[in-house]
Structure 1
Amino acid sequence: MQLNRKIAAGLAAGALATSLLGVAPAVAAEPLDGKGGAAEAPMMDHARHAAWGKVVAKSGVNIRAYPSVKARKLGAYPYGAKIKLRCKVKRQLVHGNPYWYKLDTRSGWVSARWVKNLNHVPYCR
């Protein structure tokens, strides 16, 4: 008898959950660009914000092709330069710091050892 009550209670809970899920808002269809294709959705502020860093090495910081001091040098930023950062990864240690920042406005990477982040820098996906 007690088992029947548990089964009935479980079925009632399942029916309630199903009915509640049925009233969830529908996802809007992708807007069209006027040519039959999907329009590019605008980037939301909360989805990606501007991350910034400031070069703290007196001699500046090298821009590398990938996050390693062995990577080809693509250029450099001088001391005090404010640079826009896209994201960070953990790779080769540079004087005890394993983080590297991917640049946002150009290709390349800089060691976080020589760049102070001025706000939150997300991890690269």
Structure 2
Amino acid sequence: MGEAMIVAGIGCRRGTAAETILATLDAALAAASLSRGALAALATGALKAEEAGVKEAANRLGLPLRIADDAALAAAEPRLLTRSEASHGATGSGSLCEAAALAAAGEGASLLAPRFIREGVTVALARMSGDHP
């Protein structure tokens, strides 16, 4: 895959360290046979916009952190592969990481697989459509 076309949506428990987020991200990428070089951005919902570990993970990777607002998350709901009652109760989304990845990757984006979960971190990988700028 020549250019970075993947957006990683991130969800986590409050106070999760960047190291834990990055380890889970690496595991999700490996499960999809991808490397960090495939990433164009990280994404999360407005609820996690000030989460230090998420911000630090994006900084360490040198990637933009895209914040999906509630309307964008809601618009992505029909395309989710995971619907968790616990996630919906806590975030308003059946899968915050999946919805954020789809919202940030743009129209025509698709999830590579259901969310990956490890150590209180969820990661979803969305491929941008071929016509994404």
Q: TM-score range by the shorter chain?
A: under 0.3
Larger gyration radius, structure 1 or structure 2: 1
Bigger fraction of residues in helix: 2
Larger strand proportion of the pair: 1
TM-score (norm 1): 0.25
TM-score (norm 2): 0.24
Higher relative contact order (CA 8 A, sep 6+): 2
